[in-house]
Amino acid sequence: MRILVQEQPFDYGAEASDFAAGRHDMGAIVTFTGVVRDVDGGLNAMEIEHYPGMTEKALEKIASEAMERWSLGDALVIHRHGRLEKGEQIMMVATAARHRKDAFEAAEFLMDYLKSRAPFWKKEHTGESAGWVAARDADETALDRW
């Protein structure tokens, strides 16, 4: 299990290759990456604030739960903070399991939980203004299925 909280960009391809390397016992690797998308009015930048210390702790707790629940061989979470431009990769998760169903489900669980249980906050900078992204009710209800 590997958790990285960092300001600098990461290489999605290299991380995915490293994660998959040497896993002869795992038949399924799922990776997901989240990208800064443009918004109406044009996004200049996305700023991500986090709570150092609690962030790592929360991500470790979420990833440990996924490891146990789906008997994963391994899990990876990378999440960036600071100022990001549109098109940049914000975060990625990867899961390795014997079969694809477990790998897909665990990756979705990780995404659902880190969206509303890991202390990150997004602020969008558009043309002349900046505003904090509001949490969506759908993100909270997404947790109910787990």
Partner 1 sequence: MQVLYFAWVRERIGLAKETLDTQAGTVMELVDELRAREDRYAAAFEDLAALRVAVDQDLVDFDAALNGAREVAFFPPMTGG
Task: Provide the mask over 77-116, with x wherever binding to partner 1 is found by CB under 8 A and - wherever it is not.
Answer: --x----------xx-------------------x--xxx
Q: Amino acid identity of 6?
A: Q
Helix extents (H) in the chain: 12-20, 54-69, 100-117, 137-141
Q: Give the dihedral of Cα atoms 105, 106, 111, 113; nearest 10 deg.
A: 110
Among 20, 34, 104, 126, which residue sits at the site for partner 1 (rule: CB under 8 A)? 34
Shortest Å distance, C-beta 87 to partner 1: 17
Please pick, from the candidates 23, 119, 125, 126, the single residue that binds partner 1 as defined by CB under 8 A.
119
- Give the count of residues interacting with partner 1 (CB under 8 A): 29
Give the three-state DSSP class for 65. Answer: helix
Q: How far apart are CA 39 and CA 95, in angstroms?
A: 30
Residue 26 or 115 with smaller CB distance to partner 1? 115
Rounded Cα gap, residues 140 and 131, in angstroms: 21
Q: Nearest approach, Cβ of 11 to partner 1 (angstroms)?
A: 20
Residues within the interface to partner 1 (CB under 8 A): 34, 48-51, 53-54, 57-58, 79, 90-91, 111, 114-123, 132-135, 139-140
